[in-house]
Structure formats: structure tokens, C-alpha cells
A and B are shown apart, each in its own frame.
Chain A
Amino acid sequence: DTAVSQTPKYLVTQMGNDKSIKCEQNLGHDTMYWYKQDSKKFLKIMFSYNNKELIINETVPNRFSPKSPDKAHLNLHINSLELGDSAVYFCASSPPGLAKETQYFGPGTRLLVL
């Protein structure tokens, strides 16, 4: 009964490759997010989708492209991976209305680019 799940948990790949990370939530939430957490634990928002529509797109290289096929899924595709992309990527979701500030995070995908 995992609330927010991500696959894969670990991803080791070579520079220049293209990879995707998938996220699914079974909480019935409307809004989903992608965050990047660097080695110093700094958590920075990358994208936010509400009902499949992009609402936040922070200053992220256009090699990163999110896709939301439906409300329950938000995937992240990364082209031409670079060493600096190595980080932990977290997916999160939040409910609509007054509780939208309460975000639920997935377990993270640890990406290592060699």
C-alpha cells in the first residue's frame, strides 16, 4: 500500500546516456512534484504538475523533461546525462485545497552518472 512509489531506486549510468525515472501515487492527489537533492542534502524543486498540467518549471536544463500521462503518474526523462546530474531525485504529491502544503515524498531514486 505504498503511497508514493518511484522506480528505479538506484540508477548507475554513463555520461551522455538518456534515462527515465517513474513516479506513481495512489493517494488520489492532484499535484505532483520532482525535487533534486544534492550531496549536501539541499532539496530543490524542479517541476510541479497539477491535474497533468505543468505549473512550476524552475531553472532546470531542458535536458530534463517531465511527463504526466495522468494525475497519478509523473515521470522524469533526462537526456544526455552529465556528471552534475548525480543526485537523489524525489517525487512528491500533495492533496488539493487547504491541505495542499502537506507533501508526501517517495523513497527517492539515487542517480549516479559515471
Chain B
Amino acid sequence: QKEVEQDPGPLSVPEGAIVSLNCTYSNSAFQYFMWYRQYSRKGPELLMYTYSSGNKEDGRFTAQVDKSSKYISLFIRDSQPSDSATYLCAMSVHGNQFYFGTGTSLTVIP
């Protein structure tokens, strides 16, 4: 079993839709949870970072962590064509070794 599981998609939504991206994990020791966005042929860029459980909001993006269910989510409100990318979740116990999901490919159709 992989440490982190993520549905690869692809996910296709119309512009303006609310997008929900999810990851599950098996290691209950994970404390740091990140979401990265990766455009085609580019390196991943950090979108959101959360420590332990709870919600974090940044503009149109909301990250949620439910440690009891070992489940994290990223919500994108009012999705835009520029949000079309692959979204990778990542997790860490101590912050020096990161485990990534396989990424979900998202396309927002104008």
C-alpha cells in the first residue's frame, strides 16, 4: 500500500465550478500537509500548507485536514481555466521527508 493515495483523474469541470480534490493516507504520524500545483512541463509550486488538523483558506483555495479519517482535501471555488494543472498532495512527519500523491489532473473548460 502506498503511503499516500490520490485519484489521478482526469477531472474536467466548467469554468466557475467548485472543485474538490482529495488524498488519503495510511501513516497516522503525518503532521504536515501540503498541496502543490504543477503546470505542464514545469516544477511543482506550493499552493497551501497545513499543520495538523483543520481548515486553511487562501483566496479561492481551501485546504482541509481530517486526521481522524486520514483524509485531506483541497477546494477551489470559482474555478478558472488558469487553474488547469495537476494537483499533488504531499505529507510529512517531521518536515524533512515528503511523501507525494500521484497527482490529479484538472481541466477547467471556459
Contact = CB atoms under 8 A, between A and B. Distances in A.
A102 to B, nearest CB: 5
A43 B43 contact: no
B62 interface: no
Interface residues of B, number: 26
A13 B88 CA distance: 29
Contact of A44 (B8, B38, B100, B105): B100
Interface in A23-71: 31, 40-45, 48, 50, 55-56
B96 A31 contact: yes
Size class of A's contact patch? 20 to 34
A48 to B, nearest CB: 6
Contact of A108 (B36, B42, B102): B42
Interface string B27-69: 0000010101010011111100101000000000000000000
* Interface SS, B side: strand
Given A40-B8, A41-B8, A90-B43, A103 B98 contact: yes
Contact of B102 (A42, A48, A102): A42
A25 to B, nearest CB: 12
Nearest to A105: B43
A86 B82 CA distance: 29
B100 A103 contact: no
B106 to A, nearest CB: 12
Contacts of A40: 8, 102
A43 B4 CA distance: 11
The 10 residue pairs across chains A and B that have the minimum distance between CB atoms: A105-B43, A43-B100, A41-B103, A101-B32, A101-B95, A100-B95, A42-B102, A105-B44, A107-B43, A108-B43
Given A42-B100, A101-B51, 19 more contacts: A31-B96, A41-B8, A41-B88, A41-B103, A42-B103, A43-B103, A44-B100, A45-B99, A48-B96, A100-B96, A101-B32, A101-B92, A101-B98, A102-B46, A103-B98, A104-B46, A105-B45, A107-B43, A108-B43
